[in-house]
């Protein structure tokens, strides 16, 4: 497994790099565009972690775990349910989720995130993994009041800070059967395995590529398991997949 991310030296500019041991090896460009080291490295404890992705499109998938379909009182559609989230909703590891409407029910949803590594259009399921660079941990924060009152999901899930992703992106890793969990204030709220997804990663990438050309760096959130629940100011969220480092975020109310 190889580990990549976006970093900034304290007080410095953003750069992309590969984490090897205790060092971050700087890259000439975002890793999904080609891994070309600059030859420079910096100690990991001397950098801050930023959002590891910068997609042209941020695609979300819904109703991809049977128990989540049941808890949402929905029925299977027979095909993946996809919509777009605003890339401006992305949030880095250890940054704060800001609840846009504190009087609304706003839920956490932890998900496996896919990072596209090559231009993909009309790709088959068997070839889909050839177009994937790697994977990360994501959360799809959702304003349920708006979701119930509107027919599309773009607005209720696209407020600033509503898509934490990170802390890193992992390549050369098998995600077919990994544990996925979400802890809220230390208590396990979501626990499932990626093998329980109704539509596999390859199914989703193939399906999405039939509708839109996927570009290197695009991100797809593959759906959340059951156990979703509301967040409130002061909460601490810890999302994990397999043995990857946890994605940590605190919650506060947005400034009025």
Which pLDDT belongs to residue 234?
Answer: 98
Look up the CATH number of domain 2-50: 2.30.30
Q: Per the CATH hierarchy, to which homologous superfamily does domain 58-253 belong? A: Fumarylacetoacetase-like, C-terminal domain (3.90.850.10)
Which pLDDT belongs to residue 121?
Answer: 98
pLDDT tens across 179-230, in order?
Answer: 999 999 999 999 999 999 999 999 999 999 998 999 999 999 999 999 999 9
**Cα–Cα dist 123/230, whole Å:** 37
pLDDT tens across 64-84, in order?
Answer: 998 998 988 888 888 899 999
pTM of the predicted model, to two decimals? 0.96
Which pLDDT belongs to residue 159?
Answer: 98
Residues of the chain with pLDDT under 70: none
Boundaries of every domain in the chain: 2-50, 58-253
């Amino acid at each position: 497994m190889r580990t990549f991310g976006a970093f900034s030296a304290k007080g410095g500019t953003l750069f992309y790099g590969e984490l090897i041991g205790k060092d971050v090896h700087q890259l000439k460009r975002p890793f999904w565009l080609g891994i070309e080291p600059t030859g420079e490295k910096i100690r990991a404890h001397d950098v801050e972690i930023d959002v590891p992705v910068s997609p042209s499109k941020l695609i979300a998938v819904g109703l991809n775990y049977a128990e989540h379909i049941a808890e949402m009182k929905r029925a299977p559609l027979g095909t993946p349910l996809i919509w777009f989230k605003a890339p401006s909703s992305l949030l880095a590891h250890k940054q704060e989720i800001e609840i846009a409407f504190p009087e609304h029910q706003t839920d956490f949803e932890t998900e496996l995130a896919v990072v596209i590594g090559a231009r993909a259009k009309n790709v088959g399921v068997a070839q889909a993994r050839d177009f994937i660079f790697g994977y990360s941990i994501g959360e799809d924060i959702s304003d349920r009041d708006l979701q119930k009152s509107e027919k599309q999901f773009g607005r209720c899930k696209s407020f600033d800070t509503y898509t934490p992703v990170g802390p890193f992106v992992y390549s050369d890793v098998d995600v077919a059967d990994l544990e996925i969990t979400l802890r809220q204030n230390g208590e396990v709220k979501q626990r499932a395995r990626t093998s329980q997804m109704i539509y596999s990663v390859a199914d989703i990438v193939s399906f999405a590529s039939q509708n839109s050309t996927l570009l290197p760096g695009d991100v797809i959130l593959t759906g959340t398991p059951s156990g979703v629940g509301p967040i409130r100011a002061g909460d601490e969220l810890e999302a994990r997949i397999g043995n990857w480092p946890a994605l940590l975020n605190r919650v506060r109310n947005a400034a009025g």
